[in-house]
A and B are shown apart, each in its own frame.
Chain A
Amino acid sequence: MSKEEQLLAKLRNPALKDTAFNELLDTYQERLYWHIRKMVITHENADDVLQNTFIRVYKHIQNFQEKSSLHTWMFRIAYNESIRYLEKNNKKGYEISEEFVEEKVKILSEDTYFNGDEIQLKLHKIIEGFTEKQKRVFQMKYFDELSFKEISELLKVSENTLKSAYYTAVKIIEEKIFE
């Protein structure tokens, strides 16, 4: 029995649920936070979405059908919560334009918890200019260290498509970052 399976068994036991949930928070809180932060940009928003994510995990752990690993399932909840938050707060939609990228970078640079330099801002601009699929696969693979298989389960896109999108994104970054 893997560590994750043991944790899941404890989460499903009402007597051990609270202790196991503490353990779950210790193990996944940081990874999920950074996953959410890259999607919703500011720390304040990421904090809200992270809380909503864990509350949803706590409430629905009994319904988890083990079609994927526990952490993939949690990443999916975090992803969906972030998308829900973005849809609620972004009435303009996701059409990528110069204006859209500038607005995103402006929000980021105004965040109290952003301390980036010129290069880092440039990386953000490049990433924000990607297609939605390219952006998500790059962030999930490079920063969240998810495997292509896990990202495929999360985004419901084939692994080959994701690999292609990821390597294209890496190439674009390498080309544009020091231009």
Chain B
Amino acid sequence: MKKFDKNNKEKTFLEQQYSKDLVERHSNYLGTEIPEGYFTTSKLAILERIKNEEITENPKKQVVFWLKPSFKYAVAASLVFLVGMTIWLQHLNKTEEQFTTDFELLSFSDDVLLNSILVDEAQFDAYTNIILMNEIVIKAELSEQKMDDLFLNSLFVEDSLIDDYTGKKFVESIIL
């Protein structure tokens, strides 16, 4: 395609049937050019940038040997088995211990009973005296006091009721 100049006035400047070559068309009309082999280098640059951005966005995780899928399932199964065994064994020991504890408790209560027979007479007398004083004498005294209070209260209440009643009767008899 020829370059346009002022002598081309007889033709229309913008052609209806223009060249299909984009580079040629842009160069002829707009004077814009590109470096040689640009589209090949640009394509490679775009692909490289995509590759780099994918790596940045999804960095490849470093896989530790013992965390590889083939290995980690076996490790997990072993751990579960070990934990299970530990719990089961603990449960077994506990049952045996419980039996021992119960037996010890029984023997302990027997000892207490035997010891109680062999208590000194003087100690036993002192103990009974304290119990007598606390439980019988003091409690009897307190219950006697309560009885007195109740008797006195009932007396006062009854007197006031009688007074009230006689007062009302007296008034009624006067009125009637």
A binding-site residues for B, Cβ under 8 Å: 21-22, 25-26, 29-31, 33-34, 37-38, 43, 47, 50-51, 54-55, 58, 108, 111, 113-117, 119-121, 123-124, 142-143, 170, 173-174, 177-178
Contacts and interface: CB of A to CB of B under 8 A. Distances in A.
Interface stretch (B43-51, B66-74, B156-164, B168-176): B43-51
Contacts of A25: 43, 46-47
B12 interface: yes
A108 B23 CA distance: 17
Contacts of A115: 27, 31-33
Contact of A121 (B23, B31, B53): B31
Given A123-B30, A124-B30, A143-B25, A55 B4 contact: no
A29 B33 CA distance: 15
A54 B53 CA distance: 12
B43 A29 contact: yes
B35 interface: yes
A55 B43 contact: no
Nearest to B5: A119
A173 B50 contact: no
B39 interface: yes
Contact of B39 (A21, A33, A111, A119): A33
Nearest to B45: A51
B88 interface: no
B29 A37 contact: no
Given A51-B42, A55-B46, A124-B30, A113 B13 contact: no
17 contacts: A29-B39, A29-B46, A30-B23, A31-B22, A37-B32, A43-B32, A47-B42, A50-B42, A50-B46, A55-B49, A113-B32, A116-B30, A116-B31, A119-B3, A174-B12, A174-B14, A178-B9
Contacts of A114: 31-33
A106 B42 CA distance: 26
A30 B34 CA distance: 11
Given A43-B33, A47-B38, 14 more contacts: A21-B47, A26-B43, A34-B26, A43-B32, A55-B50, A113-B32, A113-B35, A114-B31, A116-B30, A124-B30, A143-B22, A173-B14, A174-B13, A178-B9
A178 B6 contact: yes
Given A116-B30, A117-B31, A55 B53 contact: yes
Contacts of A117: 3, 31
A25 B48 CA distance: 13
B6 A119 contact: yes
B46 A54 contact: yes
A113 B33 contact: yes
Interface in B35-63: 35, 38-39, 42-43, 45-47, 49-50, 53
Q: Which 7 A-B pairs have the closest CB atoms?
A: A116-B31, A120-B31, A113-B33, A54-B46, A177-B13, A25-B43, A119-B4
A157 to B, nearest CB: 22
Contacts of B32: 37-38, 43, 108, 111, 113-116
